[in-house]
A and B are shown apart, each in its own frame.
Chain A
Amino acid sequence: MSILYIMLPAALLLALAGLAAFAWAAKKGQFDDLDTPPIRSILDDDD
């Protein structure tokens, strides 16, 4: 079971990486406008 001593911190590090990605996205304003982009992706038909 001593593998857990490595696995658990590794899992936590992965989670931290996910958090870092989220923090980057939030800081970049990816979540500022949640209404327009879904519409835009449907309507972008002619570019």
Chain B
Amino acid sequence: MNTPSPSDFNTDSSADLSADPGPSGACLHCGLPIPAARRNVNPADTFCCAGCQTVYETLSACGLDNYYRLRDAVNAKPTRGAATQQRYAAFDADAFTTIHVRVLDRTDRTDGTGSATHTTDFRLEGVHCAACVWLVERLPRVVNGVIEARLSLRETTVRVTWNPATVALSKIAESLDRLGYPPHPAQGADRTHLRQKSERAQLLRIGVAGLCAGNSMITALALYAGEGLGSTTVDASMDSGIQFMLRLISAGLGLLSLAWPGSVFFRGALASLRTRTPTLDLPIALALGVGGAAGLAHVILGRGEIYFDSLTVLVFLLLVGRFIQSRQQRFADDAVGLMAALTPAACRVQRADQWIETPIEALTPGDRVQVRPGELFPADGNVDQGHSTMDRALLTGESVAVPVAPGDGVFAGAQNLASPLEITVTAAANDTRIAELVRLVDQGIREKPPLVLFADRVAGWFVVVVTLAAAATFATWFFRTGLEPAIENAVALLIVACPCALGLATPLALAVAIARAGQRNILIKNGAAVEVLAKSGHLLLDKTGTLTHGRAQLAAWHGPDHLKPLVAAAEAHSTHPIARALVNALSKGQAENQNDTNLLTHTQISNIQERGDGGLTATHANQTLHIGSPNYLRRHGVHINDTWQATLTQHLDAGQTVVAIALSKQENQANSELQAIAALGDTLRQDIASAVAQLQTLGWQTQILSGDAQPVVDAVAQQTGISQARGDATPEDKLQAVQKLTAASQKHTRPRPVIMVGDGVNDAAALAAADIGIAVHGGAQAALAAADLYIARPGLQPLVELITLCKASVHAARRSLIISLVYNAIALALAATGHITPLVAAILMPLSSAIVLASALAPGRQRPRPQTPTPQSP
């Protein structure tokens, strides 16, 4: 497999990949620092995790390591695209195949075996740059039997065509996983299809409108030229036959433009009349309708002005503006397949004394299911066998993992952390707790108050003013000169007063804001959110994962430092989240002090016994090391004096987990003393307090709404300077709190928007119900689906940036609106006094649009701040 690479990419200095151990201990694949725990085992380790190693080795084995050079060449930030080592046996099940796989009839594309090829779409994790396109589309080289793989960067989906006689789908999925792109069955194909269809129709309309506009302008130019010259020189005056033909062509183009692409405005206006909510479509449709009718009448009568050049350009520009905005909102419809995103696609179920992989759709209550550590529970159920811990932070907002034992209930969507469990399913599919939450989200979205854009609010009185002005003009001219000039001038007024600039300004300003936010890693799904964020109102913040890291971390250490490496070494092999946090925190300093020494041999820790009752015991140079909960140590005869007890109580009151450490001579174990305490808790993210202060100065009323215990929430509130804090809130409570605030604020004359910021499934319903729901970094799929925008960077600082950006954008939009209103006022005055000729109108209209365009594109012209890479702490 010869892989000549483009010469550009070869000149890179990092070409020799195999010998380069990565700069300063960074992972060869993803570039993140290599955790000390891994380097302790093998000092020469060049990967941060087994997943990255798998990807790297797969790429090398397939001769695809050009990927790394490409990635450097396109300057893409490496991401955590690590292999999950999952098995995808369920993808071969009939239940899966019937839903997701299409059989292609094009047998000519197979490799001569004559069987039909199959094709399916996968949504891939970790797709982010040009190098990914290169790599994924090399899939036929990696897996024999794959005929073609086409990746769409925009949708992050790949369409795989393969020969089922040669390779199974699970093998293909596995290979994608090994390349660092865990595949998921593409959800919501119908919706994607619908969106594609509507986007294509939109494009076609723009094409037609563009053709009409361009040709009408050419025709109009000929007509104006003929008119202008005709008045001076008799010879050059336009042949009346040709003039009639040109007017006819213009009318034909104009009517085509109004009837096909322009019909969206008429339909919009009708809908706006029916629902009695004014939108900008109303004045636009009015101008188009009146102008079209008047122009047609003039063509038939053979005299007077025709307006089709202005009208067609208007239709074209407005459609382009809307198209740009809708293309920016590409994430708006991605909220699909919530349930599927939250629960695993497959699980191991017991059938006739055998464990087999099945899609979770096949589960029924009473089934016995095996769940390995790290996996998500596929259904609600009770534990039959095994002891483990369960992380249900996404469901409840609890920051601490809960232990589970036989008889305890587990929930679909929660994660099994420590050891394998066997559960009996009590509720599956739509009867689970998570399905109930998803229904709440749907309800929240349905009952959400619609956001009304400023331009649409203006449209209401705009229509009134314009109609009144037209009526007044008509009356004045009627009484002064007669019917004909009265009609002429009223029609001219209605056309020039068409809010073209107004209709263009808002979508453009929003599109610019969305694009600028995108550069800052903030995805805005709903453009109207920009306007709302520029105001100020109530800001409800989730705690776990939003203000805090959402995981246990070392908060305090009391005791001698020489115990740290011992604890880290003793806990190194435990999978318990508390142990992992301890190892991460305590071995960090260690690795810096003593380069790459093997911690286990160095610290002489041996005979590690994990007791499963809250602690572990190990041997260190003839001494016994006890690590565990205070009670565990007491049970092993460790004495805890009053000073230590006070410290303990202090940390426990703050909602932290305390790990106590004692080292005792083996001969007199009975009266050993407590020597160190490590307090672990969910710590605040960086800069939260300052971000909260900034938000408060921007006029936002902050409030914490958390599912965690009240004392913990209070502690966080105190540290961040937030006065209102509510803990113990269920997802339903959160939804209610949001709805209550929204209802209260709707009663005011100037409603203050209610913004919810959260990351978990437990926030999803509230996110959906709030005026604006904001999902933050690391959030659950449900939160992403329910939210109006997503901040893909940790912490609240991006939110401050976003609000500033929105303020600037709305300011620019307002400026454009004022310009366009001034223009409209002048045009109105000119038309009312009879000074508007079609030529003046034809010049004024594009001029105003150009000014609005320039004004809308102006805000935040400064380059986005260089992104400092913010690696997730492992």
Binding site for B on A (CB under 8 A): 1, 4-5, 8, 12, 15-16, 18-19, 22-23, 26-27, 29, 31-36, 39-40, 42-43, 45-46
Contact = CB atoms under 8 A, between A and B. Distances in A.
Contact of B203 (A31, A33, A39, A42): A31
Given A23-B204, A29-B196, A40-B133, A46 B70 contact: no
A27 B70 contact: no
Contacts of A36: 133, 151-154
B137 A19 contact: no
A44 to B, nearest CB: 8
B242 to A, nearest CB: 6
Contacts of A33: 152-155
Nearest to B5: A45
Interface stretch (B22-30, B207-215, B784-792): B207-215
16 contacts: A1-B242, A8-B246, A15-B214, A16-B211, A19-B207, A22-B204, A32-B152, A33-B153, A33-B154, A34-B154, A36-B133, A36-B153, A43-B130, A45-B6, A46-B2, A46-B3
A32 B200 contact: yes
B732 interface: no
A4 B242 contact: yes
A26 B242 contact: no
Interface string B687-722: 000000000000000000000000000000000000
B245 interface: yes
Contact of A39 (B2, B133, B208): B133
Contacts of B204: 22-23, 26-27
A32 B203 CA distance: 10
Interface residues of B, number: 31
Given A36-B151, A39-B153, A26 B2 contact: no
A30 B155 CA distance: 15
A31 B2 CA distance: 33
Nearest to A19: B211
A42 B6 contact: yes
Q: Which A-B residue pairs are the 8 nearest by beta carbons?
A: A43-B134, A39-B130, A35-B153, A26-B203, A22-B207, A36-B153, A33-B152, A26-B204
Most buried by A among B6, B70, B214: B6
A19 B209 CA distance: 10
- Judged by DSSP, the binding face of A is helix
Contacts of B94: none
A6 B338 CA distance: 60
Contacts, number: 71
Contacts of A46: 2-4
B27 to A, nearest CB: 24
A15 B4 contact: no
A35 B154 contact: yes
Interface in B131-178: 133-134, 137, 151-155
Most buried by A among B130, B196, B241: B130
Contacts of B133: 36, 39-40, 43
A19 B204 CA distance: 9
- Judged by DSSP, the binding face of B is helix
Contacts of A43: 6, 70, 130, 133-134, 137
A38 B109 CA distance: 25
Contacts of B4: 45-46
B668 to A, nearest CB: 70
Contacts of A35: 152-154
B222 to A, nearest CB: 9
A8 B245 contact: yes
A34 B203 CA distance: 13
A33 to B, nearest CB: 5
Interface in B230-268: 239, 241-242, 245-246, 249
Given A15-B211, A40-B137, 8 more contacts: A5-B245, A22-B204, A22-B207, A26-B207, A27-B200, A29-B200, A35-B153, A36-B133
Contacts of B214: 15
B214 to A, nearest CB: 8
Contact of A1 (B200, B203, B239): B239
Contacts of B408: none
A43 B214 CA distance: 37
Contacts of A26: 200, 203-204, 207
A3 B241 CA distance: 12
B199 interface: yes
A12 to B, nearest CB: 7
A32 B153 contact: no
Contacts of B155: 33
Nearest to A24: B204
B830 to A, nearest CB: 33
Contacts of A22: 204, 207
Contacts of A34: 154
Contacts of A39: 130, 133-134, 153
A7 to B, nearest CB: 11
Given A23-B204, A35-B154, A12 B6 contact: no
Contacts of B215: 12, 15
A39 B70 CA distance: 11
A30 to B, nearest CB: 9
Contacts of B207: 19, 22-23, 26
Most buried by B among A12, A19, A39: A39
A34 B8 CA distance: 24
B196 A32 contact: yes
B382 to A, nearest CB: 47
Nearest to A27: B200
Contacts of B199: 32
Nearest to B219: A8
A28 B133 CA distance: 22
A27 B208 CA distance: 14
A19 B206 CA distance: 11
Contacts of A1: 239, 242
A26 B241 CA distance: 38
A16 B137 CA distance: 37
Given A26-B207, A36-B152, A45-B5, A31 B200 contact: yes
A43 B134 CA distance: 6
Nearest to A38: B130
Nearest to A11: B215
Interface in B1-29: 2-6
B732 to A, nearest CB: 41
A23 to B, nearest CB: 5
A46 B207 CA distance: 37
A23 B204 CA distance: 6
Contacts of A31: 200, 203
B200 A8 contact: no
Contacts of B208: 19
Nearest to A1: B239
A4 B238 CA distance: 12
Contacts of B3: 46
Contacts of A42: 6, 130
B67 to A, nearest CB: 10
Nearest to B129: A39
Contacts of B245: 4-5, 8
Nearest to B215: A15
A16 B196 CA distance: 24
Interface string B174-209: 000000000000000000000010011001100110
A5 B242 CA distance: 7
Interface string B60-98: 000000000010000000000000000000000000000
